[in-house]
């Protein structure tokens, strides 16, 4: 079954420009390294989660070195920092 990674981010500010950069740059970058789907979900005024779906755990593991580079680039380019990251295999879905 699928494998998901979830990262939580805090930002100093929230702007439409940041949202556009996420849609136009960062989602395609993550998809390019093997993600099937990437969802960036605003969960509070200045925090969001990135939920990324891969076909398999192996595909997620293969992508992780590049994902680390993308996360670092995002943290340098935007006023934000990652506060947590986790991942796991799907065992049920509907």
Tens-digit pLDDT profile for residues 70-85: 999 999 999 999 999 9
The reported pTM is 0.93
Q: Facing residues of 5 across strands?
A: 52, 87
Answer CATH for 3-89 from 3.30.70.100, 3.40.50.1100, 3.40.50.2300, 3.30.200.20: 3.30.70.100
Residue scoring higher pLDDT (1 or 74): 74
Reported as a single tens digit per residue, the pLDDT across 32-89 is: 999 999 999 999 999 999 999 999 999 999 999 999 999 999 999 999 999 999 999 9
39: Cβ contacts below 8 Å, ≥ 6 apart: 50, 51, 52
Residue 1: per-residue pLDDT: 84
């Amino acid at each position: 079954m699928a494998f998901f990674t979830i990262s939580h981010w805090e930002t100093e500010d929230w702007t439409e420009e940041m949202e556009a950069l996420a849609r136009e740059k960062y989602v395609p970058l993550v998809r390019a390294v093997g993600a099937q789907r990437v969802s960036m979900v605003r969960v509070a005024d200045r925090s969001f989660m990135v939920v990324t779906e891969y076909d398999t755990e192996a595909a997620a593991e293969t992508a992780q070195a590049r994902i680390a580079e993308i996360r670092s680039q995002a943290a340098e380019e935007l006023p934000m920092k990652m506060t947590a990251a986790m991942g796991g295999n799907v065992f049920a879905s509907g």
